[in-house]
Amino acid sequence: MEASCRKVARAIPTPISQKITLYPAEDRFFGPRPAVLVLPGGGFRELPPHEGEGYARWLSGRGIHAFVLSYRLLPDRFPAPLEDARAGLDHIRNGDHGLDVGRVGVIGSSAGGQLAGLLMTGQVLSIEEGVADPPRPDFAILAYALADLDLLPPPVVENLLGDLLPIKDELSPAKHVDASVCPTFVWATAQDPPGLPNALEWTRALAAAAVPVELHVYPGGSHGIGLADGVEYGGEPHKFIAREPHTASWTTACAAWLRREGVLAD
């Protein structure tokens, strides 16, 4: 067990630009635009297109550059996906993508929300070496995002973490929230057993640290519903795709929040 928690240093085997699909803000928007790193969910086993391309097309239509990241999945375990997420943020701010970028945020769903949370808190894991001052987002959107691994059934956590179980608390981002965390929009549905308690925990932790947070809980829709508009992306149906018109209004609420936070001016 001690060996499983040894410090490791890993190189990203593929240039991060090759792991990102870019959806620029629509042509009707001019000048510097905000940008968002999109982290789909999928339990570190898949990257559902409706939480990647779906979100990206919505963001692009709102005048936001969207960068969908295909981060490493199982059997690669942490810190691999976190390394990819940090590199994705760095690429948006400093990369050769040719876009005029303003504030940089992150949107994460479910497991992607755990990654977003680790970015938000600037978490550096004890199994990492040579990591200092990791990049952090300027704002965050959390969709039924994992806040605390203690809120999941133990068998699920054991299957997810494997020999990394001793650093479970390090990988629970809500445990590391402080006043330095960026403003955050949180949403989930009342019919989502993992999503709702995690959304509530996110809100509790952020509010306790005096971080600006807005929470929306919608009555209908299961875990992984994404935009809740019933639209398929990627050419294949996904089990979590459903149409819940009221839940789908979370994007309108989120756009209003982005305007309130000064991310969007129009």
Summarize pLDDT for 155-166 with one digit per residue, the tens.
999 999 999 999
Rounded CA gap, 183 and 198, in Å? 17
**pTM of the shown model:** 0.93
Of 35, 65, 59, nearest to 227 by C-alpha is 59
Ordered domains of the chain (ranges, CATH): 17-261 (3.40.50.1820)
- pLDDT tens per residue across span 75-101: 999 999 999 999 999 999 998 899 999
Q: For residues 53 and 111, what is the distance between their CA atoms, to the nearest angstrom?
A: 17
Q: Is the pLDDT of residue 266 over 80?
A: no
Return the closest-CA partner of residue 89 out of 106, 101, 102, 77. Answer: 106
> Which residue matches tokens 């699909």?
21
Name the one residue in this structure whose structure tokens are 């509010």: 207
Q: What is the pLDDT of residues 31-60, one digit of tens each?
A: 999 999 999 999 999 999 999 999 999 999
Q: What is the largest CA-CA distance in the chain?
A: 55
- Is the bond into 48 cis (omega within 30 degrees of 0)? no
Contact 145, 202 (CB under 8 A): yes
**Residue among 178, 174, 39 at smallest CA distance from 116:** 39
Q: Indicate whether 10 pLDDT > 60.
A: no
DSSP 25: P
pLDDT at 143 over 60: yes
